[in-house]
Structure 1
């Protein structure tokens, strides 16, 4: 009887241990996302997320044998969420910068971004040279905000307004409370296609690299980066790009070229 009990206990322990491993392997990826950033990511009326980067993280999760559990966060809160390890990764057309790399990790980039100057139709602003003496706005803690602040003396704008949401910024632009909104050009064009009276005055090439941000030194970083390389190689990334941006990615672009985990923004 003693032997039987011991064998029963041992088998039960092994079985329970096996279940533990299976449960851990299937644990959903916790993903933070700014919920109003189409076509990159957007929370629908049904409460689900859709968009270019949403498709990417869902595919990553699928290839890891699990699912992505996406939560909507304010843009500034995304950085707190990764720094505190509350999420496994965040998406929101995030630019790799050397400053961010000091406290965060990034996967390889999959899109080269550009900025756009959003204005009201009929505005006398047609380029960055026309921002002198104007009121400009962008999203708090974003790359466009940093870009504007670094060039304050050069651009000579009269006032800068910082926003927590894109919708509030574009509302102020439409109502004349700011003269120009500087943001990701793809996002601006997507929004303006569904709004009236607003247009992109100029597209500014900046060399931005959009990627997934993860906690510093994440144990999932290398695996996720390899999956992104595989998605680029097998055509999945290109298909997602064309689905959401309406054109095929350029040959040799970040979208189709596998890269290592970045150690700098260069």
Structure 2
């Protein structure tokens, strides 16, 4: 029976969230690790977020279940996106799972799981603003989160429709507040996240989306055998319907038959250049 303990403790400017699980220790007999440290930005609607004293979300439930099946306890550290990968390489944590797109650059630098979700980027503006088309972006201010594909999308828009100021942020809530009160004219973010904020606040709309759909997975240091253990557990979750059930719980609809939520990849996933 699953036993869970959740606590929050400040550590060096981040938040440490320990979710401890009791399961069969024999499953982890090939590793010296008993605890796997996961870094996430715990502020992403639908995927990983706080609800009172608990962490919830599709991605959170997927990675904790996968690590549980692999025989580990889990410690989660809340980290701004810009610090996720440097901390992984410095061995501050073992896994990064935070709505991270599997890009060619990240594929070259780190190992990653097979995908368990897909998404694309969007430009969101206020409904009552003067920015009604991409041509209206010239001379405006667009917010984005540092180190993300959304930042790259903002740069691409600037090259084609600018010049405009790109203002870097460390968190989405500050961006939303600044957009709401008019300190910025738009912001780039993942589309499902944009949909949540539009439904919740009723102040915004999506002006544009990019053409690329990105696969999302968990990231590991190069050569860490934990990646293969994670993938094996993830495969079992896809095959027995667990990932589909979690997806429907948060997104309110069943995943597509060929979506990354349920698809078991026969070969290691390699992103296209």
TM-score range with shorter-chain normalisation?
A: 0.7 to 0.9
Q: What is residue 10 of structure 1 aligned with on the other side?
A: none
Confirm or deny: 8 A CA contact 1:33 1:92 kept in the other structure.
yes
Q: Distance in 2 between matches of 1:237 and 1:125?
A: 39
Q: What displacement does 1:25 show?
A: 6.6
Deviations 1:124-175, CA, capped at 9 Å, x for gaps:
4345444333211110000110122244221224111110010111111001
Cα deviation digits, residues 75-123 of structure 1 (max 9, x gap)? 1111112111221211111011111123221111122211122111223
* 2:221 is the alignment partner of 1:215: yes
Whether contact under 8 Å (1:119, 1:199) holds in the other structure is yes
Alignment match of 2:104 (pick from 91, 98, 102): 98
Per mean C-alpha deviation after superposition, the further-off stretch among 93-102 and 124-133 is 124-133
Q: Which has the larger displacement, 203-212 or 70-79?
A: 203-212
The structure 2 residue matched to 1:30, chosen from 37, 54, 74, is 37
- Superposed counterparts of 1:102-141, under 5 Å: 102-141=108-147
Tell me if the contact between 2:153 and 2:188 (Cα under 8 Å) persists in the aligned partners: no
Contact 1:25/1:65 (8 A) holds in 2: no
* CA–CA separation in structure 1 for the residues paired with 2:134 and 2:253: 27
- Equivalences for 1:1-266 in 2 at 5 Å? 27-46=34-53, 48-259=54-265, 260-265=267-272
- Determine helix, strand or coil for the equivalent of 1:257: coil
| Secondary structure in 2 matching 1:194 | helix
CA distance in 2, matches of 1:264, 1:23: 30
Deviation per CA, 1:224-255: give whole Å up to 9, x if none.
11222222222111111111111111121222
The structure with higher relative contact order (CA 8 Å, sep 6+) is 1
Per mean C-alpha deviation after superposition, the further-off stretch among 175-184 and 129-138 is 129-138
Q: Residues of 2 paired with 1:199 and 1:234: CA distance?
A: 37
Rounded to whole Å, the distance in 2 between the matches of 1:110 and 1:174 is 32
**Structure 1 segments unaligned to the other structure (5+ residues):** 1-17
Q: Deviations over 1:182-238 (max 9, x none)?
A: 100111222333324223233434221111111222111111112222222221111
Identify the residue that residue 17 of structure 2 maps to in structure 1.
Answer: none
Distance 2:163 2:252 in 1: 34
Equivalent residue number for residue 4 of structure 1: none
Per the normalisation by structure 1, the TM-score is: 0.84
RMSD between superposed Cα atoms in Å: 2.4
